[in-house]
Amino acid sequence: MRGAERLAAIEVNQVIRFEHVTKRYPQHGNALSDLSFELKAGEMAFLTGHSGAGKSTLLRLIGLIERPTRGQVMVNGRNLRHLPTRKIPLHRREVGMIFQDHRLLADRTVFDNVALPLVAAGYRHKEIRRRVRAALDQVGLLGKERTFPVTLSGGEQQRVGIARAVVARPPLILADEPTGNLDPELSREIMGLFERLHRVGITLLIASHDLALIASLPYRTLTLTNGSLVGDTGTR
Amino acid sequence: MRAHRRSVHRRVRVHPFHLPATWLSYHLQVALGSLGRLLHNPWATGMTVAVIAIAIALPASLYALTRNLNLLSESWGQTTAISLFLTPDTDIEQARALAVELRAHRNLDQVTLISPDQALSELGGYDGFSEAITQLEENPLPVVLALQPTPEVRIPEALERLAKEVEALPQADFARLDTRWVRRFQAILNVTQRGVVLLGGALALAVLLVVGNTIRLEIENRRNEIEIMELVGATPAFIRRPFLYTGGWYGLFGGIGAWLLVTLALALIQGPVSRLAALYHTQFPLAGLEATASLTILGGSLGLGLLGSWVSVGRHLSAAQPH
Ligand SMILES: Nc1ncnc2c1ncn2[C@@H]1O[C@H](COP(=O)(O)OP(=O)(O)OP(=O)(O)O)[C@@H](O)[C@H]1O
Ligand SMILES: [Mg+2]
């Protein structure tokens, strides 16, 4: 997408735009088929669906971890199809990703894990310290800076992953089952954190099984079944 | 938190290295990080460093050896005496007189008279000669004067001239200046030096392979970490840099190890060499590695380490492509 087109996309405030996206895995078949939707800047939306419906796959396409078999994915006004390989790191810095399996480094402290995106982006020491502490404070793990992930509970590890995703203050955050390992109280706390991010203008797309939790919150919900979009409550 | 709203449509800060000081301290940090990782595993690191050190010490010590032999042959060239064979009819008394006369020559340091009897008994000391000598009815050997030139005439042309001069004496039969075998020895040394270069090339390749393979294993061990770094937006250069520094450290430590090995080896053979030299009534202090050779070892080893890791990183750390 050219600069002018990109500007146009920003004007209509589309942070994510899927156009007839299909993702096919050779051994498996279509994980996503002919998917089209948009997410506006500053929007907070849930992505739900049965296990194997394609939620993680959809998020991976946005983070450019994988490419669609057919169709276009636009993120922050950029057509990812035309994004050269050398620009992928810059794209990923604008997308904070929370992974279903945490993806933490076992041999690094909580602090170092959270600092990773800032270190990769070349931030200064002082700035890194300040931001990492702020992010850990947000997820309630300020006291665990010096510990290693293995000594943490599943929920705590999940929160370290969330701190890492928000630490560089990306305009878009993708969360894959961020409350999967949390008890109801902690889940609501994390949702509270996401809502705070939402209030300051961050765009969030949250994949979750937790239908009760989703139903209790007034946000748009996209529902996938076998890779097809079968429900969209629309922007609320 | 307020900053979030403004950051929504703004690109994330991407080029933070505006100040050279920041850039430098960043590189220092990466280098020290790689060093810390190496020291965390002292045995494995020590093993790799030892292999590199030995591989480099081999050609380096051969080089030191040929250099010392070269210096030795030069010193032989310098101490070459002129053997002045007198005519058979010059008797020992006349020879003594001539020796006294020659001692006054300004180009001669020492004049030693070797009588025919002396020469014969010395020859008798060699295996196989003693029997032959007992067969002789009379001593066929002439009187020989061993002339030791002063340092000023130790260049070949001056020696040649001096030899001609003494040869012209009436009592003289002929003068022999034995430098030809020294030249032959030096020719052999030249061949050996060529061999050192070839061996050095082969072992440099070995060092490249050792470093390359070590870095490859390191990359395999850290696949998970590399993948996560990629996911949070690290550039390929950022991911490669610590591995390159690791290779550099291996090279540097290997080079230092090689230098120490060669220096130690020379120190260890200095004793026997001194005793050997004493048998020949000379001194021969072994020359250590000169500054340029030391720098070549360190620089070459560092370069090999960097090159080895660069090749390995290029082969095993190709930027992840979304599929
Ligand atoms: N790398 C892959 N290769 C082959 N098939 C895959 C791959 N990744 C996902 N799939 C398949 O695609 C489908 C969608 O997977 P995906 O992980 O997106 O589901 P999901 O909605 O995230 O499920 P869950 O709720 O269990 O996390 C699944 O049937 C899965 O088997
Ligand atoms: Mg999933």
Kindly provide the ipTM of the predicted complex, given to two decimals: 0.87
Say what the pLDDT of residue B218 is. Answer: 92
CA of A52 to the centre of ligand 2 (A): 7
What ligand is nearest to the CA atom of residue A54?
A: 1
Q: Which of helix, strand or coil describes residue A207?
A: strand
**DSSP assignment letter at A218:** -
| Number of other residues whose CB lies within 10 A of the CB of residue A160 | 25
- The predicted-structure confidence for B167-205, as pLDDT tens digits, reads as follows 898 888 888 876 666 667 778 888 888 988 999 999 999
User: What whole-number distance in Å separates Cα of residue B296 and Cα of residue A90?
Assistant: 41
More confident position, A76 or B18: A76
The residue of B12, B218, B227 whose CB has the most chain A CBs within 10 angstroms, and thus the best one to mutate to test that interface, is: B12
* Contact across the interface for A66 and B323, Cβ inside 8 Å: yes
- In the predicted model, is pLDDT for residue A12 greater than 60? no
* Contact across the interface for B8 and A65, Cβ inside 8 Å: no
More confident position, A78 or A133: A133
Percent residues over pLDDT 70 in chain B:
85
Cβ-based contacts of B234 with chain A (< 8 Å):
89, 116, 120
- The predicted-structure confidence for B66-114, as pLDDT tens digits, reads as follows 888 888 777 666 566 788 888 888 888 888 999 998 888 888 888 888 8
User: What whole-number distance in Å separates Cα of residue A229 and Cα of residue A35?
Assistant: 6
Contact with chain A for residue B1, Cβ under 8 A: yes
Contact with chain A for residue B213, Cβ under 8 A: no
Q: Which of helix, strand or coil describes residue A115?
A: helix
The residue of A73, A107, A116 whose CB has the most chain B CBs within 10 angstroms, and thus the best one to mutate to test that interface, is: A116
Q: In terms of Cα–Cα distance, which of A140, A144, A137, A133 is closest to A110? A: A144
Q: In terms of Cα–Cα distance, which of A138, A136, A139, A111 is closest to A125? A: A111
User: What whole-number distance in Å separates Cα of residue B287 and Cα of residue B285?
Assistant: 6
* Contact across the interface for A120 and B12, Cβ inside 8 Å: no
CA of A68 to the centre of ligand 1 (A): 14
Query: Average pLDDT over chain A, rounded to whole?
Result: 88
What is A151-203 written as a DSSP string? GS-HHHHHHHHHHHHHTT--SEEEEESTTTTS-HHHHHHHHHHHHHHHHTT-E
Contact with chain B for residue A65, Cβ under 8 A: yes
* Contact across the interface for A200 and B4, Cβ inside 8 Å: yes
Q: In this structure, are residues B60 and B263 in contact, taking their beta carbons and an 8 Å threshold?
A: no
Q: In terms of Cα–Cα distance, which of B292, B307, B68 is closest to B211? A: B307
Of the candidates B10, B231, B323, which has its C-beta nearest A67's C-beta? B323
pLDDT band of residue B7 (cuts 50, 70, 90) is very low
Residue A157 tokens read as 């590890």
Q: In this structure, are residues B156 and B179 in contact, taking their beta carbons and an 8 Å threshold?
A: yes
